[in-house]
Structures are given as C-alpha cells and as structure tokens.
C-alpha cells in the first residue's frame, strides 16, 4: 500500500480523518462527505426515498453502517436485515438468505438441531435483546482509539439529510426531528435510556449484571 491507496485502505472513516489532517482541515469538514456510520462505510442502501431502508437503519444499529444488520421498528419487523433477525443468523451461523423461505422454517430447523424449544417471540423479547444490549455496551465502551458519543454519533451521515437530487422521490429527505423521534422509540423498545444506554433494570432482566461496571465507565466518559 502506498500513496492515496494507503489512505483509502483504512476505510471511509479513518481515510476522512487522515485526509483532513493532510489538508489542514477540521475532521468534520471532511467527514461530512463520508457516508459512514460509526466508522463503517454504508453500502448501496440509503434511507431518503422511503423505498429502501428505514430512516434509523444506521442511526441506532449496533453494527453502524453494516447494511446486513440494521435497526427497525417494530423490533420484529421483516426483512431479514433487521438486526433482531440478523443476530439470529449470526448466532446460528447461517446465511441470512436462508431466512427468505420464512422464519417458521428457520425456527423449526433450530429446534430440530439444538433441541431448544424456542419461539420467535422469545427470540425477539429475550435473546435478541440480550445480544443487542451486549453489543451496544461494547460499542459505547469504544477503544482502543475511537470512542462514540451517542449524542453525536447516533445519527445518519450528513449526506442523508440532503434532498434527493433526482428520481421519483426528488427533493425527499428526513429531518433531524424525524430521526430523534424514531431514535428514542427504538431505545425504549430495547429497554435503553434516552441516550441509548441500557438501563440497570434491563441488564438485570436480561441476566447481564456483569455489565454494571462497564455501564459506569460509559456514563463517566460521557459525563452523565
């Protein structure tokens, strides 16, 4: 790797920071052009048209710009890229395309292979919440050299607030107010507070009491 290739090889987020440094600019002056969420470049799916991914897909996803695991409301909403169901595919180590035949078949296979008599409702309300809550805590802990502040980084890239320049949905784009409303609804659905930090009650309900010290570190770093 050399030259600009070495810079771009670091990924969208780090490349933007490096270019800002090289040009003597503030990071935000370059990051506004970087279509990424929490350091992960966003793929082919946008949110502005209302015909593709939901408005908060990348805003509250525990995997940032990963287009295969996005936030959706209600929590049990299809399609397979909903992070509630993506966490099932990841945990079961199966391709998400296997879910295209319907979730009933997936759960039937899961019961046959494991002997676990688990329902879709149990997965959504217990297992998926446990996985996503753990991921959220790890995300907010950050490190070794990147730390995310939900007040700043639980957001769409600036480009997604620019009205679409052409096409059948020309001029359409979400507003910050739209995002803030949906963001709080998503946090609440998972048992997190208004900043998206899992509450003590939630971690107890999910059997994740070992995270209490980590939550304390997160709150201390955020000054809350």
The whole-angstrom separation of Cα 37 and Cα 161 is: 14
- Residue 220: what pLDDT? 96
Instruction: Rounding to the nearest 10 degrees, give the CA dihedral for residues 150, 22, 41, 4.
Output: -170
10 Å CB burial of residue 205 (0-12, 13-18, 19+) is middle
User: What are the E-state strand segments in 38-116?
Assistant: 40-41
CA separation for the pair 71, 38 (Å, rounded): 14
- Cα dihedral sign, 123-129-132-133: negative
Name residues whose C-beta falls within 8 Å of residue 107's C-beta, 6 or more positions apart in sequence: 118, 119, 120, 123
Q: How far is CA 210 from CA 10, 36, 85, 114, 207, in A?
A: 34, 31, 25, 27, 8
Cα gap 113→127, rounded to integer Å: 18
Tokens of 26: 């503030």
Instruction: Report DSSP state, residue 40.
Output: E
pLDDT at 44: 83
Q: Are 208 and 131 in contact (CB under 8 A)?
A: no
pLDDT tens series, the chain, 224 aa: 889 999 999 999 999 999 999 999 999 999 999 999 999 999 889 999 999 999 999 999 999 999 999 999 999 998 789 999 999 999 999 999 988 888 999 999 999 999 999 999 999 999 999 999 999 999 999 988 889 999 999 999 999 999 999 999 999 999 999 999 999 999 999 999 999 999 999 999 999 999 999 999 999 999 99
Residue 190, Cβ neighbours under 10 Å: how many? Answer: 21
Strand segments, DSSP code E, in the chain are: 36-37, 40-41
Strand partners, 192: 198
Neighbours of 66 (CB within 10 A): 20
Q: What is the pLDDT of residue 165?
A: 96
Domains and CATH numbers, the chain: 1-34 (no CATH), 45-222 (1.10.599.10)
Q: Is the pTM of this model over 0.75?
A: yes
């Amino acid at each position: 790797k050399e030259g600009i290739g070495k810079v771009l090889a670091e990924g969208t987020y780090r490349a933007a920071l490096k270019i800002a440094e090289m040009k003597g600019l503030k990071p935000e002056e370059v990051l506004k052009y970087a279509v990424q969420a929490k350091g992960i470049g966003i793929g082919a799916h946008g949110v502005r048209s209302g015909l593709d991914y939901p408005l908060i897909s990348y805003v509250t996803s525990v995997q940032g710009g990963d287009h295969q695991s996005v936030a959706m409301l209600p929590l049990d909403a299809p399609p397979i890229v909903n992070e509630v169901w993506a966490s099932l595919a990841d945990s079961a180590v199966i391709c998400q395309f296997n879910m295209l035949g319907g979730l009933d078949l997936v759960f039937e296979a899961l019961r046959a292979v494991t002997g676990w008599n688990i329902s879709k409702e149990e997965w959504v309300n217990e297992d998926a919440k446990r996985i996503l809550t753990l991921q959220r805590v790890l995300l907010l802990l950050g490190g070794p050299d990147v730390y995310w502040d939900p007040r700043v980084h639980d957001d769409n890239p600036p480009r997604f607030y620019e009205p679409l320049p052409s096409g059948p949905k020309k001029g359409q784009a979400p507003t910050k107010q739209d995002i803030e409303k949906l963001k709080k609804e998503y946090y609440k659905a998972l048992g997190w507070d208004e900043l998206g930090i899992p509450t003590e009650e939630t971690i107890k309900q999910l059997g994740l009491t070992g995270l209490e010290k980590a939550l304390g570190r997160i709150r201390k770093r955020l000054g809350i």
